[in-house]
Amino acid sequence: MLKQLVVFYFSLFFLVACSEEPSQNSSDNQSVTPVAEKLPSNEPSFSKVSPEPTLVAESRDWNRIKQFKLIRALKLKWEEPTSLPRAGVTSRFHIDLFNDFAQQHALEVQWINVDNLTQIFEMLAEDKADIIPRHLSITQQRLKSMTFSQPIMLDQELLIASSATPAPTSEQVINVHVPKDSAYIESIKKAYPHWEITEFSHNLNHEQLADGLLTNQYNYTVLDKYSFDTLKHYRQGLTSLLALPDTRKLGWAIGHEKNTLLHKLNNYIAVHHISSSTAQPRFLDLESMKKNHLPLRMITKNSPETYFMWRGELVGFEYELMHEFAKRHQLRLEVVVANSYQEMVDLLHQGKGDIIASALTKTDDRVKQLAMSRKYHTVSEMLVSHHLGEDITQLADLKGRTITVRKSSSFWQTAQQLAQEYGATVIAANESLSTELLIAQVADKKIDLTIADSDLVAIEQKFRSNISAPLILKSNIEYGYAVRQENQQLLAALNQYSKKEYRQLFFNIVKNKYFSNTKRQKKLRAKRISADSTLSPYDVMVQPKAQEYQFDWRLIVAQMYQESRFNPNAKSAAGAQGLMQIMPRTGKEMGFSDLTNPEQSIGAGVQYLDWTRARFSKKLALQEQTYFSLAAYNVGFGHVKDAQRLAKKMNLRSDIWFNNVEKAMLLLQQPKYYKHARFGYCRGSEPVNYVREIQQRYLSYVDIVQ
């Protein structure tokens, strides 16, 4: 009966609220279409927010820019990083780099968001912006209409195909499919004039190109090496057949005759040695890095305690501490992600990173192998049990109880000692199961007990009310940073930083943000609602905005309750604000500056939900578009796409959320899956619970308020 009600109410909702399907951009269940059949925009437009104030045509050189303390920069609308930054270059690299340039010159960056590259070039030519700071190939054709900075880096263009496609012979005529107006066209015509070229719509993305190859819609395309290196992390079955002869120079674009601006950009690029800073082995100490304006390269792992992506933002305890350290030494921070302790050590000794910041306990073996800093954080080893389990008040209560931990974890030795001295039984967990997942198994009563550090227990207790930590097994376990033995300047600076900040204001703010041990508050019971009552204090604001974007207003109210419990001043630990819990950067890009204002927060939330919906394939059933858009709103579009790709591999439906994609989403908590995912680690239980709870609340609202 419940299932029938769900179908009925969502059918009713979409018949009333959705008179037409939204635009979309999805690689799932979508064919790649030649230019004659225009594909939807890569980044859906926000037509409801007028961009006119930023689009005034004005040719501005450096003096004018400095006069207004503002520089207008172009980027694709809502340009998310192409993946979790693991090393090297993503779109975030250029955005962060340009923000640093602006900050050095006391300029505010006015980001102007447009749909595609063709529009970006048109707006620059029309003097509606000052610069395009992105990964652009410098070509003869482009130099006719714009000026480029000196090269930021070099790249190679590769012929890409599925692994089953043979490499072409030198004289063979092949048909290569590439996006319209891309720099690849010029390269192909120069190097292989006998190849045939088919142009796709200008807004075709790398995901769609990969899909076309893997589904045999065409055989060949061209990608730059940086993009392909990112793509092959999470898309199997693709290969590089050959490299086009010419190395491409990449730079930022400005209009002609902006000589002073060009000089400032070139000076910044030269001083910072940007072209030599990415993925190049080096063995420099701190003062040499500072003198040569080279970035500090942090080696870490992708995990909830260290470094991960949430709603498009890079966050993590270790990441924030190291970001602040780099900032104080006026260095940019780059992150290199490893999958194991040994890989981190290897990267450090190979000169591919400068420091390991990854919740490393200071053991005798590690101190012999590496130069480790003084402690910057301490944790405890804690026993984890189900809160309704048999009481454990002392170690003697462990007799006959079963503890499950991985042999490779630092907890194995502790568990063995408990077995020998107190009669506990120890079971070796599958090595693919993270401690976080073992805690989940305790919560689900699948295993009896496990051991975890106090930080992770604190994280889990925020989300789980059914676990407890009855015993502290070891206290004052020290974390230290690791560097090469010869990097004594860096080691001394880290020691000074740790000594100054340990348990001081900045450290405590960051620590509490991630590991505050406040137990998850009990859910507030919804007020009893009668058929003639309002659902929230903001119904009148929600209704017209929901109608404008073709949503049922009761769905938006259900989501608002889930986000903030109708508190306009709500603020999450990660910085999301207001009734709809929008990140400030996201709100600003949509034109909303005060997210504590209920009307602005509602406007931003509905608009953002519409944007997430528009990014999924229109081939999805209408109710599925809502489920997927809610999940993307909660955890980020990229993580949901990762779950769709994983669902396909597991022979689940990638176009159905419940009992299909949501199952794959839960697996993105496991290292064996998230280390190959485009956006990395994801606490999959959050979006799964988020969608289910909003759905149930929405159905109750539909039943109560017609």
Out of 14-18, 282-286, 468-472, 564-568, least confident range: 14-18
In a domain, 30, yes or no: no
Stretch 346-351: mean pLDDT: 94
Same domain? For 393 and 474 the reply is yes
> CA-CA-CA-CA torsion for 206, 211, 213, 216, nearest 10 degrees?
-160
379 pLDDT higher than 50: yes
In a domain, 18, yes or no: yes
**Phi, psi (5° rounding) for residue 403?**
-110, 125
- The answer to whether 42 and 79 have CB atoms below 8 angstroms apart is no
Q: Which residue carries 């506990």 as its tokens?
A: 424
Same domain? For 79 and 194 the reply is no
Same domain? For 358 and 418 the reply is no
In a domain, 93, yes or no: yes
Same domain? For 575 and 475 the reply is no
Out of 26-35, 250-259, 484-493, least confident range: 26-35
Same domain? For 415 and 454 the reply is yes
Residue 49 has a pLDDT of 37
Same domain? For 430 and 457 the reply is yes
451 pLDDT higher than 70: yes
- Report the distance separating Cα 628 and Cα 658, nearest Å: 10
Query: Which residue among 563, 589, 624, 662 is the active-site one?
Result: 563
Tokens matching residue 405: 């931990």
Stretch 538-553: mean pLDDT: 94
SS3 assignment, position 579: coil
- CATH number, domain with residue 160: 3.40.190.10
Same domain? For 652 and 546 the reply is yes
Stretch 456-462: mean pLDDT: 87
- Residue with the bigger pLDDT between 116 and 546: it is 546
The set of residues, in sequence order, having a beta carbon less than 8 Å from that of 692 and lying 6+ positions away, is none
- The answer to whether 623 and 702 have CB atoms below 8 angstroms apart is no
Tokens matching residue 432: 């693919």
Longest distance between any two alpha carbons in the chain, whole Å: 80
508 pLDDT higher than 70: yes
Residue 300 has a pLDDT of 95
Q: What is the mean pLDDT of the chain?
A: 84
- The answer to whether 236 and 123 have CB atoms below 8 angstroms apart is no
pLDDT bracket for residue 439 (50, 70, 90)? very high
597 pLDDT higher than 90: yes
Residue 431 has a pLDDT of 83
For 7-24, the pLDDT digits (tens) are: 434 443 433 333 333 333
- Residue with the bigger pLDDT between 27 and 294: it is 294
Domain that holds residue 112: 52-153+252-276
Q: What separation in angstroms does the CA of 82 have from each of 318, 637, 671? A: 22, 11, 20
Stretch 607-615: mean pLDDT: 92
Out of 29-33, 148-152, 359-363, least confident range: 29-33
- Could you give the number of structural domains in the chain? 5
In a domain, 38, yes or no: no
Same domain? For 56 and 143 the reply is yes
Residue 27 has a pLDDT of 38
Residue 523 has a pLDDT of 41
- The answer to whether 39 and 33 have CB atoms below 8 angstroms apart is yes
DSSP letter string, 288-356: HHHHTTPPEEEEE--BTTTBEEETTEEE-HHHHHHHHHHHHTT--EEEEE-SSHHHHHHHHHTTS-SEE
563 is catalytic: yes
Residue 41 has a pLDDT of 32
DSSP 232: H
Same domain? For 353 and 423 the reply is no
In a domain, 625, yes or no: yes
In a domain, 168, yes or no: yes
243 pLDDT higher than 90: yes
Residue 565 has a pLDDT of 92
Q: Which residues pair with 108 in a beta bridge?
A: 70
Q: Enumerate helices (H) and strands (E) in the chain, giving the number of each.
A: 27, 22
Out of 47-51, 474-478, 598-602, 670-674, least confident range: 47-51
Residue 528 has a pLDDT of 39
- Sequence length of the chain is 706
- Report the distance separating Cα 494 and Cα 321, nearest Å: 11
Residue 293 has a pLDDT of 83
517 pLDDT higher than 70: no
Residue 83 has a pLDDT of 65
pLDDT bracket for residue 38 (50, 70, 90)? very low
Helices (H), 205-298: 206-214, 225-234, 259-272, 286-291
> CA-CA-CA-CA torsion for 269, 323, 674, 43, nearest 10 degrees?
-50
Stretch 508-522: mean pLDDT: 69
The set of residues, in sequence order, having a beta carbon less than 8 Å from that of 257 and lying 6+ positions away, is 61, 147
pLDDT bracket for residue 36 (50, 70, 90)? very low
Residue 81 has a pLDDT of 60
Most confident range, picked from 218-232, 263-277, 438-452: 438-452
- Report the distance separating Cα 390 and Cα 448, nearest Å: 10
676 pLDDT higher than 60: yes
Residue 37 has a pLDDT of 27
> CA-CA-CA-CA torsion for 83, 89, 91, 92, nearest 10 degrees?
80
- Report the distance separating Cα 672 and Cα 339, nearest Å: 10
In a domain, 216, yes or no: yes
Residue 218 has a pLDDT of 93
- Report the distance separating Cα 27 and Cα 233, nearest Å: 17
Residue 574 has a pLDDT of 78
For 51-77, the pLDDT digits (tens) are: 334 467 888 999 999 999 999 999 887
Residue 279 has a pLDDT of 56
Residue 521 has a pLDDT of 40
Percent of all residues in the chain with a pLDDT value above 90, rounded to a whole number:
53
- Residue with the bigger pLDDT between 20 and 482: it is 482
703 pLDDT higher than 80: no
Residue 209 has a pLDDT of 83
224 pLDDT higher than 90: no
Tokens matching residue 88: 């090297």
Residue 306 has a pLDDT of 92
Q: Which of 542, 550, 534, 631 is nearest to 579 (CA)?
A: 542
Most confident range, picked from 118-127, 203-212, 226-235: 118-127
In a domain, 306, yes or no: yes
Pick left, alpha or beta for residue 194 (phi over 0 → left; psi -120 to 50 → alpha; otherwise beta).
alpha
DSSP letter string, 406-432: -TTSTTHHHHHHHHHHH--EEEEPPTT
Same domain? For 575 and 691 the reply is yes
Same domain? For 647 and 538 the reply is yes
Residue 20 has a pLDDT of 33
Same domain? For 668 and 592 the reply is yes
103 pLDDT higher than 70: yes
